[in-house]
């Protein structure tokens, strides 16, 4: 494994460089990944449901977030914390850690391999479009694959630099997407997808938004779009995609976020954005 170079200057006496923050994000994600892998080996059950009966949380999601919360407080006292499963902690340093303790919880429940621990550190308000993601790690515990990124430094998979695939015509584009948990939103998402399916090479649904985005970064799918992403679904993997050369955006000139996230090489994203806007993919449920 090669060590990514640190090209980012330290921005203040107490502020680590982006590369140092990336190393910490990786360390925390690997620790949570070990916990998640051990939890999966012991067997997994649904602990609770959230927005709908299919939106589940397991005891391992909760334990993984608790561990990340504790480690952030130990390593970076004063930094804020925003996670999928617990209370927010506001920041007194200007930095906030945005984490998904398991992205792809349904895959985790079924022992399918595509789930991830996603750890990002952002400056500013921890809100998509407002934040600046400084460093991140997306770890897939099932096989240990580790994607990292630091703003201005680059994106890496297991320490090797990665870049998005070159843009292809839409008809040759392998497109990843995902669906929300609300039945009405899903109906709408299905209608939009039905219109796109005849226009692209094929469609993939991995069940983890973070994995979708880092696979765009790796050039293993060409592009991705989804409505309804939460900050923790987006933060870590969006930086990996951007540092690998992808555009990550919303529709109608908006930044990527809950209404819509589109990612891929610039020309592919431009074509997809036009199609999604025509179909009002960001409007409605």
Cβ proximity to ligand IPD, 26 vs 103, nearer residue: 103
User: Reduced to 3 states, what is the DSSP secondary structure of residue 56?
Assistant: strand
Using rule CB under 6 A, residue 4 touches ligand IPD: no
- Provide the minimum distance between the beta carbon of 93 and ligand IPD in the complex, in angstroms, as a whole number: 26
User: How is residue 135 written in tokens?
Assistant: 């460093």
From the number of C-beta atoms within 10 Å of its C-beta (0-12, 13-18, 19+), residue 74 rates as exposed
Stretch that binds ligand IPD, among 7-15, 128-136, 148-156, 172-180 (CB under 6 A): 172-180
Using rule CB under 6 A, residue 265 touches ligand IPD: no
Residues in Cβ contact with 12 at an 8 Å cutoff, skipping those fewer than 6 apart = none
255 neighbors 133 (Cβ within 8 angstroms): no
The residue to which tokens 């006496």 are assigned: 13
Among 16, 128, 180, 250, binds ligand IPD (CB under 6 A): 180
Q: Which of residues 64-83 bind ligand IPD (CB under 6 A)?
A: none
- Provide the minimum distance between the beta carbon of 167 and ligand IPD in the complex, in angstroms, as a whole number: 24
How far apart, in whole angstroms, are the C-alpha atoms of residue 262 and residue 255?
10
The residue to which tokens 């036009």 are assigned: 274
Closest CA to 151 of 88, 95, 72: 95
Stretch that binds ligand IPD, among 12-20, 100-108, 190-198, 250-258 (CB under 6 A): 100-108
Residue 127: HSE in the Cβ half-sphere, 13 Å Cα cutoff: 4
Cβ proximity to ligand IPD, 28 vs 153, nearer residue: 28
Among 8, 18, 208, 268, binds ligand IPD (CB under 6 A): 208
Q: Angle of helix 183-196 relative to helix 266-278, nearest 10 degrees? A: 120
Using rule CB under 6 A, residue 105 touches ligand IPD: yes
Closest CA to 136 of 146, 150, 126, 152: 150
Using rule CB under 6 A, residue 100 touches ligand IPD: yes
Cβ proximity to ligand IPD, 105 vs 136, nearer residue: 105
Cβ proximity to ligand IPD, 33 vs 104, nearer residue: 104
Stretch that binds ligand IPD, among 15-23, 101-109, 126-134, 234-242 (CB under 6 A): 101-109
The H-assigned helical ranges of 57-204 are: 59-75, 105-110, 183-196
Cβ proximity to ligand IPD, 222 vs 226, nearer residue: 226
Which x/- pattern, by CB under 6 A, does the window 232-251 give for ligand IPD?
A: -x------------------
The H-assigned helical ranges of 147-251 are: 183-196, 209-218, 231-243
Residues that bind ligand IPD (CB under 6 A): 84, 100, 103-105, 178-180, 207-209, 226, 228, 233
């Amino acid at each position: 494994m090669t060590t990514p170079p640190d090209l980012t200057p330290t921005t203040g006496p107490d502020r680590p460089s982006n590369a140092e923050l990336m190393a910490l994000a990786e360390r925390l994600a690997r620790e949570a990944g070990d916990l998640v892998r051990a939890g999966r080996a012991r067997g997994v059950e649904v602990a609770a449901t959230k927005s709908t009966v299919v939106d589940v949380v397991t005891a391992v999601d909760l334990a993984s977030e608790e561990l990340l919360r504790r480690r952030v407080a130990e390593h970076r006292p004063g930094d804020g914390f925003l996670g999928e499963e617990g209370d927010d902690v506001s920041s007194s340093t200007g930095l906030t850690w945005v984490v998904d303790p398991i992205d792809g919880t349904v895959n985790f429940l079924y022992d399918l391999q595509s789930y991830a621990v996603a750890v990002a550190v952002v400056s500013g308000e921890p809100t998509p479009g407002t934040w600046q993601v400084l460093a991140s790690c997306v770890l897939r515990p099932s096989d240990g694959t580790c994607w990292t990124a630091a703003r201005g430094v680059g994106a890496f998979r297991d320490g090797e630099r990665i870049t998005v695939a070159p843009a292809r015509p839409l008809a040759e584009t392998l497109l990843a997407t995902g669906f929300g948990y609300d039945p009405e939103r899903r109906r709408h998402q299905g209608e939009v997808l039905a219109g796109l399916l005849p226009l692209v090479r094929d469609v993939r649904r991995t069940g983890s938004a973070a994995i979708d985005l880092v696979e765009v970064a790796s050039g293993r799918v060409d592009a991705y779009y989804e409505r309804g992403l939460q900050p923790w679904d987006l933060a870590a993997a969006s930086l990996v995609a951007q540092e690998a050369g992808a555009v990550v955006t919303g529709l109608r000139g908006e930044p990527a976020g809950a209404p819509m996230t589109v990612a891929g090489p610039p020309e592919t994203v431009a074509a997809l954005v036009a199609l999604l806007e025509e179909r009002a993919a960001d409007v409605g449920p």
